[in-house]
Amino acid sequence: MISYLGAIGTANPSHCIAQQQIADFMAQALEFGDVDARRLRALYRVSGISQRYSVLPDYGRTNGDYTFFPNTPGLNPFPSVGQRMAVYRREALPLALAAVADCRRQVPSLEMASITHLITVSCTGMYAPGLDIELVQALGLPAAVQRTCVNFMGCYAAVNALKLADAACRANPAARVLVVSVELCTLHFQKSAEDDHLVSNALFGDGAAACLVQGQPLPDGAPSLALTAFHCGLEPDGHADMAWHINDFGFEMTLSSYVPKLIQRGIGRLTEQLLSTLPVRRADIHHFAIHPGGRKILETIEQALDLSHDDNRFAYRVLRDYGNMSSATVLFVLRDVLAAATPADHGAPVLSFAFGPGLTLEAMLLEISVDSYQLTVNNEKAVRSMEGEPVAAALVAAE
């Protein structure tokens, strides 16, 4: 029994802020002098990020007209965990619903009453009754839907959610699993000049993703990804290099400069272990969906696995346009892999990685599933339905 991932919907908050605007905010908030401010802006320029999204407009402002942070020098008193969680509770559900709506647009025939399992994912906020119950009520899901919450596992958590969804579908071929990841990372800005915090503040953005996992490919020829295999690895030497703690002023991320080296050291072994029992070799794989934890992480993986920049193009594009959105990020990358799939890609393997505290390295092997016949039929129907229009225009509209 094979399960299929498809209809990956995504959403971001309304505040899209240029990376250099955020750098200006950070320099002012940290009360940096000219020399430190220049160094900070240089860090932001080489991050590979052009813009990020936030539920807070403050990061695009340097005039003190803030809505969340205090309008005082040094932003004192700095917002507490309680204040940050209040924003999370207000903003998480609308963003999750927007991602689900995007998912449902891709499968118009999807009935919410048919959902048997709901898996929610987040490491940037929590409350109870939580987001899972709010989604049940807002979406009209059955009260008996089986709910699971994957919390506080960091950037690799969506992979664990897909493992759970895959297990549910293998146990029950009629299972239909809705996975929803919501991360509001920018709520947890740390007012600290320590290198780890400066790097974290330069990387993370807000976003949500929702996807459907079921025991058969999506209808109407829409591309899906067969969940073929999973493998988890640990690099215990990185226990202190990537960590996530709840402190008095938000959730504090530790992300040391040693993390890319740890990933580079373990990624080859992880790939070998993933493929060891499969009829697929590394040389057979030409599609990749790598969690863009940062530009340096992508570059070190390329070196370790002999990948080109183009092999990693989907990860770089997500990093550029959204930054690191923790667990939701790899789903954004997989969304782009699916969007680019053609009938010629049917059966092609996709190698995917995500990383998090521990240091945890998660690997997935997926396979592109495209019903080329059904896609052709759908395109022909679309053309025939546009009577009176030039054929060229109809073909463009049908694509």
Beta pairing, strands 51-54 & 15-18: antiparallel
Task: Give CA–CA dist 347/350, Å, rounded.
Answer: 9
Task: Decide: 330 and 355 in contact? Cβ < 8 Å.
Answer: no
Look at the chain and count its residues: 399
Task: Decide: 269 and 232 in contact? Cβ < 8 Å.
Answer: no
Task: Decide: 202 and 44 in contact? Cβ < 8 Å.
Answer: yes
149 is catalytic: no
Q: List, as one string, the DSSP characters of 339-395.
A: HH--GGGTT-EEEEEEEETTTEEEEEEEEEE--HHHHHHHHHHHHHHSTTS-HHHHH
Beta pairing, strands 360-369 & 224-234: antiparallel
Q: What tokens does 193 get?
A: 């000049």
Count of CA atoms in the C-beta half-sphere (13 A) of 330:
29
Task: Decide: 334 and 5 in contact? Cβ < 8 Å.
Answer: yes
3-state secondary structure of 144: coil
Choose, from 155, 169, 185, 211, the residue flagged as catalytic. Answer: 155
Q: What is the CA radius of gyration of the chain?
A: 21
Which positions are annotated as active-site residues? 155
